[in-house]
């Protein structure tokens, strides 16, 4: 085992960022009160803060398991990369690349969506929304492969933990409506409030777009980028909003729905599809996945345009994903 630098052993960037998170939330609240540039609802914000607190407790409870798995995988690394200076920017970019793909899976595989839906459950979009995180992420077992590729390549688990922490910190600031657009050069490369508002929106044109964590270039490379449109205001939340501020219900509501669907499935195949198919899948297609919602919306818009009727800028879908 190579010598691990002392600062790597003890450094957790997220802990140092927590006071900054609190300060920025307060600043945004004051700014919103003065300008109306962002929307807050006390019960919603409390729920988001409660989810963030629970996520921190979950990280402590499951941290040992995640660390043990990471160190187990590290024994089988292909290269001994160690801790040279260049490992940090390379690991940061690779970690963000991996984040893009696993975030995308979080929207296209219901097993992972049952966990990730927590972050999308608020109908408001402000800095407290960034703190609305799942309590049960380790139970999805995504840690078995999330990061394992980098560990097998030879990146030390502590390096991955640190760069992932900086990735998480970066993602905090763009959960806001107070910032409209960044400079064009920045919008072209980096994830921004405008790009991420699209990701949280339920408008058909915005569904399942902009999965990036830090670098929006991944979405542009892999065909999932959608700019925010001036004539299409974002509607936040999930297709079927849950109508509760109870943190416990927020944490488990989709898990309950998933297992209920599996229990009532008419065949083992249907049960497996409920688990692994995109959110909104059903045997008869009555609910509608994101792709189906988008296709029906596009067909309706195209039909209206072809008939010469005026097309609404913000048509609401009549079918919905879970």
Residue 7's Cβ-count burial label (10 Å; 0-12, 13-18, 19+) is exposed
Question: Percentage of residues in the chain with pLDDT exceeding 90?
Answer: 76
Three-class SS of residue 190?
Answer: strand
What is the tens place of the pLDDT at every residue in 145-178? 878 999 999 999 999 999 999 999 999 999 999 9
The pLDDT of 301-322, averaged and rounded, is 45
Residue range 248-257: mean pLDDT, rounded = 96
pLDDT band at 313; cut points 50, 70, 90: very low
Question: pTM (2 decimals)?
Answer: 0.89
pLDDT, residue 11, reads 84
The string of pLDDT tens digits covering residues 71-108 is 999 999 999 999 999 999 999 999 999 999 999 999 99
Residue 310 pLDDT greater than 60, yes or no? no
What number of helices (H) and strands (E) belong to the chain? 14, 0
pLDDT value of residue 303: 58
- Give the model's pLDDT for residue 178: 93
Res. 24 pLDDT band, cuts 50 70 90: very high
3-state secondary structure of 51: helix
- Is residue 315's pLDDT more than 80? no
pLDDT at 153: 96
pLDDT for 212-242, tens place per residue? Answer: 999 999 999 999 999 999 999 999 999 999 9
How confident is the model over 279-287, as a mean pLDDT? 91
- Band (304; pLDDT cuts 50, 70, 90): low
pLDDT at 306 over 70: no
Kindly list the distances between the CA atom of residue 293 and the CA atoms of 261, 279, 303, in Å, as whole numbers in the listed order: 20, 12, 15
Which pLDDT does position 2 carry in this prediction?
63
Instruction: Say whether 176 sits in a helix, a strand or coil.
Output: coil
The answer to whether residue 110 scores a pLDDT higher than 60 is yes
Q: What is the mean pLDDT of the chain?
A: 90
pLDDT value, residue 311: 38
**What is the model's pLDDT at position 156?**
95
Integer CA distances (angstroms), 52 to 58, 72, 119, 171, 250, in order: 10, 29, 10, 14, 12
Structure tokens given for 206: 């915005």
Residue by residue, DSSP assigns 236-257 as BS-SS------HHHHHHHHHHH
């Amino acid at each position: 085992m190579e010598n691990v630098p002392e600062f790597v052993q003890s450094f957790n960037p997220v802990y140092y960022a927590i006071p900054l998170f609190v300060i920025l939330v307060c600043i945004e609240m004051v700014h919103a009160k003065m300008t109306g540039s962002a929307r807050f609802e006390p019960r919603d914000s409390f729920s988001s803060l409660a989810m963030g607190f629970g996520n921190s407790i979950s990280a402590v409870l499951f941290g040992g398991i995640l660390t043990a798995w990471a160190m187990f995988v590290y024994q089988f690394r292909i290269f001994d990369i160690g801790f040279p200076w260049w490992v940090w920017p390379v690991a940061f970019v690779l970690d963000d690349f991996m984040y893009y793909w696993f975030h995308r899976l979080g929207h296209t595989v219901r097993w992972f969506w049952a966990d990730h839906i927590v972050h999308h459950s608020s109908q408001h979009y402000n800095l407290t929304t960034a703190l609305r995180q799942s309590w049960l992420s380790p139970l999805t077992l995504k840690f078995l492969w999330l990061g394992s590729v980098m560990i097998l390549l030879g990146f030390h688990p502590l390096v991955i933990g640190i760069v992932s922490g900086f990735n998480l910190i970066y993602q905090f600031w763009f959960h806001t409506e107070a910032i409209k657009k960044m400079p064009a050069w920045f919008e072209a490369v980096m994830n921004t409030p405008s790009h991420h508002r699209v990701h949280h929106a339920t408008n058909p044109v915005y569904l399942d777009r902009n999965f990036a964590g830090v670098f929006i270039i991944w979405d542009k490379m892999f065909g999932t980028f959608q700019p925010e449109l001036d004539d299409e205001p974002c509607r936040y939340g999930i297709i079927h909003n849950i109508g509760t501020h109870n943190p416990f219900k927020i944490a488990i509501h989709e898990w309950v729905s998933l297992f209920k669907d599996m229990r009532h499935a008419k065949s083992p195949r249907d049960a497996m599809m409920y688990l692994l198919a995109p959110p909104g899948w059903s045997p008869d297609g009555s609910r509608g996945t994101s792709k189906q919602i988008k296709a029906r919306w596009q067909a309706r818009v195209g039909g209206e345009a072809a008939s010469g009727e005026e097309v609404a800028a913000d048509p609401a879908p009549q079918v919905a994903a879970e």
